[in-house]
Structure 1
Amino acid sequence: MREPTRVFVVDDDPEVRALLGRVLGKAGFVVAEAGSGAEAMAALAREEADVVLVDIRLPDASGLDILRWAREVELASEFIVLTGHADVETAVEAMRLGAYDFVAKPWRNAELIEIIGKAAEKKALRRENSALREVMTRRDGLPQIVGQTPEVRDVLAMIDRVAPSDSPVLIYGESGTGKELVARTIHLKSPRAGRPFVSVNCGALPDTLLETELFGHRRGAFSGAVQSRVGLFEAAHGGTLFLDEIGEMSPAMQVRLLRVLDSGEVRRVGEERTFHVDVRVIAATNKDLAREAAEGRFRWDLFYRVSTIIVPVPPLRRRREDIPLLVRHFTAPARGGRALRFSAEAMERLMQYDWPGNIRELRNLIERLQILHEGDEVQVSDLPPELTAPRAAPEPAESPLVTLQEMERRYVERVLRATGWNKAQAARVLAVDIKTLNKKIRDYGLTRPA
């Protein structure tokens, strides 16, 4: 749902302000007001409006002074100048200073409302263009989650359930399992699909850079800030912001992020005014954030704020049957690489390997073979040593017929392993409370691996 347009009225006549308040309020605008230039500039420095209606003559300043100030501080609001018939030349000067339009007193209400609507639309388009410029360098191809195993079907079913909502999502999984792919898929299946998807790796940047990446900065806020920059929260307005490796965020940045998530307002570095943002946050981590919080490295309040819904992503070794499908996907001609075939023995080695780097490691191997391998078919001898080393003999196959109690024990143990023994996550997946999960752990004698 689109936020109502915020209009700020600057006029020294209280009757004019009251009249405009009534007229614009009935038209669906949110109206604030000021009776002097100083009051107006102080208010706009705190919180930006979409459209500013400013009288050309004020007791302590002219409307032109406010326009010059707005240009100096790079205020993004659109300005409409209110002027008497004798002030047309001054109004033209206002247009040169960046005003959207001028309206002569007395005005016609319908005309004024139409002009305000167009000014607000222009402001929204400028904001969208700024967002798109920030997003363009971060765009990848359309996501495709490849796999047919029950583990992948569980992830896809969870995506379908959570995508329509605006609730925060925490994606949990080992490095290289495709957490960003899951986040993009959630975004593209959501009502926000037509808006930006913006991602940032919280562990790749020091605090000072991460702060300006997320929140933006004003020109001159620090050495080297030669121009103002839109932050990723603003760039993602109306869409989704993906915070990868959120568990690497410092305590100080966790506080700032929590404040934005609670208030829905962003303040650029070096500025006093705030910006309203409408963003869905999806975070990802390869850490047990509940344990990190218990040990004081992650804030509990931020953990609860970002983990309304937890989506566990399985490692590749838990979905070995998907490896042939992934290989065909990575060697497809549409991806621009050279077609490769794997002998039955080579494919068997791929399926036996544990893939500590998960899908990222598999994709890296395929790309390397496409470049370096001579011939069309890959043999076992062409694989790297880690894939050809002898494997320990597998455990004897279990009987396919077991009791219902034994099936439950195995499944509880499987969920605990998949979530890294995070009991809060495991309980959500099993749809039981923590007390019930602890009882099953005791009853089945399950123990956490060392």
Structure 2
Amino acid sequence: MDSNLILVADDEPSMRLNIVELLEDEGYSVLQASNGTEAIQMTLDHQPIVVLMDIKMAELSGIQALKTIKKNTERIPIIMFTAYGSSEKPIEAMKAGAFDYLEKPFEIDKFLSVVQSAVDQHNKLNSLSNESIQKIESDWPTIEDQIVGVSKKMREVLKLVGKIAPKDTTVLIQGESGTGKEVIADAIYRHSNRSNGPFIKVNCGALPDNLLESELFGHEEGAFTGASKKHLGRFELADNGTIFLDEVNALTLQTQVKLLRILQNFTFERVGGEKTLKTNARVIAATNKNLKQEVEKGNFREDLYYRLNILNVTLPPLRERLDDIEPLAKYFIKKYSAKKNTVISSEALNYLKSYHWPGNVRELENIIERATVMMQGDILEKKDLSISLKSDFSDIYKVHSEEGNIPMQKIIKSVEKDLILKGLHRTNWNKTKAAKLLGINRRLLYSKLDQYDIKENTD
């Protein structure tokens, strides 16, 4: 086996040649396959250290080829790529066992970095015993989902979900209200090894403090006034399954102690009970607060925070992933419109992309639902949208203000970065045109790009 051999599979000869030249310049030996069938055979015959394969190919798709290769050998990292963007593709690739997923056109540095990581993975696997290799391979991501999102930030979230879903480890999902934390929790559950078990959801912020402990841990008959019979708690009902604790920051300090005990020892007692019970429910928690700040304020236990924050998924606000507005809008139109042929105008889409979205995806869904009811005809127009950009800056203030303080510098930086991104998006990242649109010179624009670490793939 050539320790420097990489296989490139793509049915576009020009794209294949570009990749080959790039890899050969880096000192790799390269084999070429023009379809999925060839890719399978050449992989099995030559055992390359890495396979690079397009998802969309004639005769046999890259995903099908990937699955076949993985059935025969798990030791070869496979990087999938495509020019056909879809929120399902990275998850589908991860489900089939891909090492990573890239979109054409590639950023050369990013491309080479991913290839090097795959080579390192291959070398690591081949330096270990078979038992160790099986453990590593069992940790490779496997998930598939249909979450709406095409932006780079959401694709990174989807890939992370793919990695953590098969584990039993506790997960903390963080993000502003309306960013889709429950959707992510659903995805983790559906693609976990516990998907055949119960999935119990608790909105900790929606229950009064005097009922929350009883709801979570249950109570015995006569435990308090009105407890006429034994009540099984959510943790009992979630045994062998998953429990989702939304707004976990709303738990009282007393209830936090009991939750910490479950995460440490998997044991608890019902309210008014003496018998110690066990549960092996996997915990997924979500919060729209910064729990670290809540710890500093004394509102949340530090030990519980670290127990919850073993695996962390942070959802970006909608204003930071403007590329997702169009597919989300179309998804909600399809969901709510009574007419199958309803479309949205480009003017309406641009207007949506100019809004700051303090309510995030949930606000977008509400606006589209209302628009589909109020609109006339088959085209959703700007006039059908119940939002006003006049409220934009006050909404930014609401998002960033904390405890009555006015963090002026934070708000100014947020507004400035947001305006720069809007200017770049509107000019297709033509920096000269963007600077002119923003009313600043190019030198200042470049300075701001460095200051806010804005690159062309920034959403």
With the length of structure 1 as denominator, give the TM-score of the two structures: 0.55
Tell me which amino acid in the other structure corresponds to 1:386: S
Q: Secondary structure at the match of 2:368?
A: helix
8 Å contact kept, 1:345–1:380 = yes
Aligned pair partner of 1:377 in 361, 379, 391:
379
Q: Which residue of 2 aligns with 1:288?
A: 290
Which protein, 1 or 2, shows the higher relative CO under an 8 Å CA cutoff with sep ≥ 6? 1
**1: distance between equivalents of 2:175 and 2:311?**
14
1:177 aligns with 2:179: yes
Which residue number in structure 2 is paired with residue 267 of structure 1?
Answer: 269
Contact residue 350 and residue 387 of structure 1 kept, 8 A? no
Given that 2:258 and 2:268 are in contact with CA atoms closer than 8 Å, whether structure 1 keeps it comes out as: no
1:387, distance to aligned residue in structure 2 (A): 4.8
- In the alignment, is residue 255 of structure 1 matched against residue 257 of structure 2? yes
Determine the structure 2 residue equivalent to 1:161.
163
Structure 1 CA distance for aligned equivalents of residues 206 and 264 of structure 2: 25
Q: How does 1:63-102 map to 2 (within 5 A)?
A: none
Q: How do 1:376-395 residues align onto structure 2 when only pairs under 5 Å count?
A: 376-387=378-389, 394-395=419-420
Task: Tell me if the contact between 2:355 and 2:392 (Cα under 8 Å) persists in the aligned partners.
Answer: no
- Segments of 4+ moved more than 6 angstroms: 388-393, 405-409
SS in 2 for 1:361: helix
- C-alpha deviation, 1:315, in angstroms: 0.7
Which has the larger Rg?
1
Match of 2:220 in 1: 218
Amino acid at match of 1:378: L
Shift of 1:291: 1.6
Q: For the Cα contact (< 8 Å) 2:253–2:300, is it kept in 1?
A: yes
Counterpart Cα distance in 2 of 1:174 and 1:294: 19
Any idea what the Cα deviations from partners look like across 1:51-95, whole Å, max 9, x if unmatched? xxxxxxxxxxxxxxxxxxxxxxxxxxxxxxxxxxxxxxxxxxxxx
Please give the residue correspondences for 1:396-407 in structure 2 after superposition, counting only pairs within 5 Å.
397=424, 399=431
**One-letter identity of the residue aligned with 1:356:** P
Post-superposition shift, 1:305?
0.6
Q: Determine the C-alpha separation between the residues in 2 that align with 1:390 and 1:205.
A: 32
Contact in 1 for aligned 2:337/2:373 (Cα 8 Å): no
Quick one: which amino acid aligns to residue 300 of structure 1?
A: E
Query: Which 5+ residue runs of structure 2 have no aligned equivalent?
Result: 1-143, 394-414, 433-441
Which residue of structure 2 lines up, in the alignment, with residue 307 of structure 1? 309
Distance change in 2, residues 1:151/1:331 (3 Å) = same
2:218/2:232 contact within 8 Å kept: yes
Q: Which amino acid aligns with 1:357?
A: G
CA shift, 1:386, in A, is 1.5
Superposed CA offset, 1:187-220 (max 9, x none): 1111011111111111111221111110111222
Map residues 120-199 of structure 1 onto 2, 5 A cutoff: 144-199=146-201
Contact 1:144–1:181 at 8 Å: present in 2 too? no
Look up the SS of the partner of 2:235 in the other structure.
Answer: helix
- Offset at residue 306 of structure 1 (A): 0.4
* Deviation at residue 146 of structure 1 after TM alignment: 0.4
Instruction: Write out per-residue CA displacement over residues 203-259 of structure 1, whole angstroms, 9 at most, x where no aligned residue.
Output: 111221111110111222222222222111011111111111111222111112112
**Structure 1 residue 323, shift from structure 2 partner:** 1.1
Superposed CA offset, 1:317-360 (max 9, x none) = 11111111111211225x67544322111111011111110010
Matched residues, percent identical? 43
Query: What is the alpha-carbon root mean square deviation over aligned residues?
Result: 3.3
Aligned residues: 273
- Separation in structure 2 between the aligned mates of residue 286 and residue 274 of structure 1, nearest angstrom: 32
Any conservation in 2 of the 1:168–1:306 contact (CA below 8 Å)? yes
